[in-house]
Every structure is written in C-alpha cells, then in structure tokens.
Structure 1
C-alpha cells in the first residue's frame, strides 16, 4: 500500500497518467502508485533495509491527509478508496478535466521553490526541487546585508529588514519579489522596528511572518544594540502587529514554529563586541488573533544545559521533536552538529555527542542508542555520521519544507561558498543538494 501523497503529488500523478497512459488497461490506482514519488516502492528505495509491516515501519511524518486530516502513515488508505469511488462515477476524461482544474489551484498553494537572495547584490537564485532546475535572475534592487528571506503561500518571496551597507543604518523595510510578474519588486508596509541580524519564520496556517529580535542602529549608524522586540506580519492584510518582548534580547537566534501554536527560540548572540552568546530557550503561544508572553523553558533529562550557539536554525520534524542545526559555537567556529529537542518532555537529544562522549568503539552499541532515540528507525538504516550535517554552515534563513524534505541554505567558511543541504524527514539523513556558489556570478541555462 502506498504512502499517501500531498494533494499536488496526487494531482500530478493522476493527470500525467491520463495524458500519457489513457489507452492502457491498468487501473487508475495502479497508475498513481507507479508515478507517485511517495509510493511504497519509492519509500522502500530510500529505506531499503526497513521492514514495511513492522511496528518500526510507521515513520513519523508531518504530512497531513487532505481528505481525513490525519497524519500520513504507511497504512493510510484514503488514496485507494478515493480512486475506487472516482472510477465508479466518471470516466477518465471527465476526471482528468476536474483534476487539471484542481492542479492549477494546488500549484499556487504548494510551496515548491527554494529562493536565495544574495546579500549586497541584486542576484536571486530560485531552485525547483521537483525539476532540479535553478534559475538566476537580477532584480531591480540590491538585497540588504543581513536581511532575511521568507517564502510564503503561492511562492511569494519576501525580503525583510537588513542593513544599509553605505550608511550602516538598520532598515525597517520589507519588499516582495513577485515571480509571476517577472520578479517585480513590490514594497510593503514597514516594520515597527528597523532591524538586521533578526530571525524570521513563516506560519502557513495563518499566513503570518514572525520577526524575532535582531540588532538595530542609532540614527547615525555608528552605535548598535540588541533587540528583544518582536512583531508579526499578516501577509494578506499587509500589516504589522507588535508581539511581547523576548525575556533575553538577542540576534541571530534559531526560531521555528511547532504545530502552528508555538514559537520556539534557541540560542543567539546577546553581546556583539565580546561575542557573548545565550543558551536561554523561550517559547510563546499564538493564535489567529493574539500572541502570548514569552516563557523560559528549563531543560529536563540528562543534559540540563543548552549548548550556546548563534546563526543556526531549527524546524519541526515530527509530532514531538524539533531539529536544531548549524551555526557557530562559543569559539566562533562553525559546526555540523545536530540536536533534537523533545517538546513534550523539554529534553535535549544530541545523538552524535552522546555516542562520542562515552568513547564507545562498539558500533552495535551506538546503533542501539540511535534506535532508542528514534524508534521509527531500523538499526540497519542508522549510522552515527548520518546525524551530522555534511558541511559546517551558518544558516541565517529559515529552512524550506517541501513534501518530506527540509531544504537548508547556508554559508560555509570551509568552502567560502553557499550550499543547499537537504534533510529527509523520513529517515533524518542529511545530504548536500547543490553548491550555489558557482551560479552567483554567471547565468544558468
């Protein structure tokens, strides 16, 4: 039985089957399974050593079925029933017409691009994970230094804040890069607080952009201070609203959303001159109309102290956990370590360092530890190195989740380049997807 697809994937699979295989005698259900990128066959390719029907085979997944609104599991059956019902009531030509209309709307709703706006230049790179195509374009405006990029619904790209490189002043601006109108720049309502080195995260449910902390300058651009102020932007209304202040003022922190209810903040820098970092974890509850006060989280479990870092990022990976990755440590050294934070127990999981700290040469013991930390794996799938990023990078921009993959853009000091990394949310393995560096200076075919 196939893993249930997103609406877009089902539509593409069905419509493609009708166009190219209309005369075939195979059932519509078989055609979908044959072409669907999330079918059981493809799942087993990526997890070749897993046992499909075992209790460990039910992978945690953040994808939600648009029919029954349940989280997708291997035993999900909505696809099969839907296809059978449709085949009974209409022929394939009628169904194709309906699906093509749905596809036009779904393609606007699905996030399918990974944008990169290069600071200090007018260069934008747009990567399409489905086609593996990369487009380079030159915008009508330079990208401010230390700004943040957000991808919203309908592939709307927003550039938020930053610093003017000539005056050194912080900027309150936000503008949209409209792909549909030949990358036309559209200015939006300014933020309440000019800022750079801030953190921006997007909530697709409410179409909000949260902007957290950062640094601001005085009117002369020669004095700077850390910010505790936060605000959020309603994309459809083009308006900003003030949020409660953080308990700890900071810039370059990691922030992410959990279940479209909580904003979590980790790490960050609290002093620029002496490079002082913080390990304070904060979170705030939000709804469509309000955001609560920030509360400080005290770590539980074996590891009670959060490592200090900045310029890293985080993201929800399953029903209970956030992944925290990238950035620089207290020695200003880039890291490839990955942590997992359990929101139900407020405990921190550091898979790589736990295995190393015991200096165990027993691979079976290390794999056993990994299996305990993520019960959805089989031991044959796990290697300790898979828990680390393939490169040491700083990741100031929020990652982009597309289907069951998380795409992360960052700068590596080791290569002096911009790299796109991909984290599979099925098996939590990292890989380098693409080196963007060579595309910044020349056109891409």
Structure 2
C-alpha cells in the first residue's frame, strides 16, 4: 500500500479518487487508481496485458505523474476529456461569432479543459459597428462575459475553471488590457499575457514610435518604451500581464509548416494553434535518485530512459482513448499527436544530490537530465512511428528542416529520417502544483523549494 502525507491523501480523495455518484469510493487505495489508469491506457495496445503491467510500474510510487485530467478521468466511464490544455478557435468579429466561441469555451470547460483565447481579432472600443449605428464595446467587455461564464461552470472533477487571454502588442486596446486587473474583482478567472512581436522589441531597443492599429487603421502612436514600461509596471505591481514572445514561438515550432500559433493554454507552457490540444505528464526526478544525500548520490540515467519511454507510449495512447469536447479539437489532437512530457521534483532531486538550486553543479545536472529526457522522448516516438505510424501531418523534409528539430542529436535525426516520428511535439514543463502535492508533496515542477 502506498503511504503518503495526509495532504496527499486528501488531494487524492478530493480530486483523483474515482467515486460513485453517491460518493462511495470505487478506488479503495491509490494503487487502485494506478491500476485503473494502467488498464484503461493499455487498451489500444496489441498486448494490453503486457503494457498494463509496464504502465502500472511507471505509475507506482509516483515515478510518473500523468496530469490531473488523466488521473481523475481515465477509466472512469465519464464523458470528460483527458486533455488539460486547449486553445480555442479564432473569434470572429461579429456577434454571432463571438457567442459561438463563448459556447465552445463553455462546452470545453464543462469537460474539464483549461482554455486559451486570443482576443486580438475583436475590434477596439469605439470602433464603428456597421449597420447598427453603434460603436464597439471592445474586447475587454467580451472578456467580462467569458469571465462570468467561467465562474458559473464548475469544471469536471471539482477543478476550478482556468482561462488565458492574450492580446497583440499592437492592438488599440492593449493599454486597457494591461491595466485591466487594477480594477478589483475584474477578470479574476483569466490569466493575461501580451503577445510581443520581434518588431515591437526592435522598436523598444531603438526607442522608436509604435502604432496601435486594427484592420489597417491606426488609432494611436506612442513610444514603444512607454508601452513596454506599462507592461513592466503592471507585472511588478500585480503579476500580470505575462509576456509571450510570439514570433520566436512560431519560428521554433517544429510544425511551422502547417500551423500558426497566437495563444497558449492557461499556464502558458503550451503554445497551441486554434483548436490545439495537448496532454501533460511529468517524470518525478526525486524518485530516481540513488544513494540520496550522500557523496555518491546520482540520478539513475538508465531508469530515467526507461521511464520516459514508457511515459511517451502511455501518453500517446491517451490520444486514442480520450474524449474531446469539440470535433475540431479531436481532429487537431490526432493530426499532430502532441504530448507534453515534463518534470517534477527537480529541486528535491538536486537537494538529494547535494547541489544548491541555481548553483553551477545544479545547472550542470539539470542540463544533463533534461537532455536525457529529450533524447529518450524523441527516440521513443520515432520507434513508435515505425510500429504504429507517423502523425498524419508529418512531412519528413519540412519537419527535419525545422530550427528546433535540427538541434537534436545526429542519431535522433537519423532515426526520424528513417522511421518518421509519432508525435509532432514531445516535451513541456508544466507547473504541476496539485499533482506534486499528491505525489507526497514533492517539489513542484522545476521550481525551487520556497
């Protein structure tokens, strides 16, 4: 029986333990939860019994932690998605399109998905609305509608609704967007981030003017540094908005040839295209340390490689068995087969290796461990491609020419060239707040111990 701290037991009982509608538990122990996940996620395999055992071994003792939607939903029989992260479709700049997007957001949140939206497509406050003799109320007024919707809907599995709103740095309402959370209680269901372009950063560097425009009409011109200072002051004062370097994201995206990204999921670790979806999961590094706290302490690299391989296969199967709130989301997920494999317990693992977080040894160890995770993930996905097929939008020449992919080791590139790859993207470091508490209160994600 898995023994954990009382807070971990409470998190499991409240969020991840499968219960009947009357509250009686189906999962008697945490081991039952692992067995439920392993059996359900092994179902697509040709030899499900073998892979159920392998998946259970990876889950046991919190060595691999699937994201919360998987923990609570896999094998539950409920109509919920196993994906944590979504970016919704582009919002059309008319009343029908706006409220159709609101409906899609509500349906996605009802199944447990967190959502991201780009509100830059909506005309600014005061712009004319043709045919009705009125002025537009602007994107922030509609964000208030989204905020009220999110407060109304309790996401599946007792998960509070989560949303990300982004806006381009050249949108005429960007200043109001930056200042929005100064108003007490406003937009509290949203995280906010500004989409910052390379052109804007050049203007900041050169102390040039910056135009705020929409559909070819310039509404205001101001110093780029003035706008940048407003973002920095707001971030210092109340931690928002964040900054997303959107041109860099698109340049480094391995799928640069078939999608354009202009939003992220609620916590920002997943830049996604319209209707993009990604599932998350984390390797618990603290569980892989041999001889902890001694001078011989080290991370078992062979165990790490095996665990990553099993985790990638398990997450690839999630794509097959998950439900999706919208058909467009299912199409996106299966066309590209994104998975987001990350880490948790980094700080604890460094402590066990007697390395001070942020120190030279810690940086060296972290680089070594993260490179090993990337290697194992891409090699596993390439082997899966040989076994199960490549992701449908795979184009060998264009994929291998991508800036990020070209940075992989030569043997990985050779494997992809020969076999293809099953998952277009493979790694992503998520915050892992709740699942880290569940995993016997291990340090969260890549954060230090506060």
TM-score with structure 1 length normalisation? 0.31
Question: Which protein is richer in strand relative to its size?
Answer: 1
Q: Which has the higher helix share?
A: 2
Q: Which one has more relative contact order, counting CA pairs under 8 Å at least 6 apart?
A: 2
| TM-score, structure 2 as length reference | 0.30
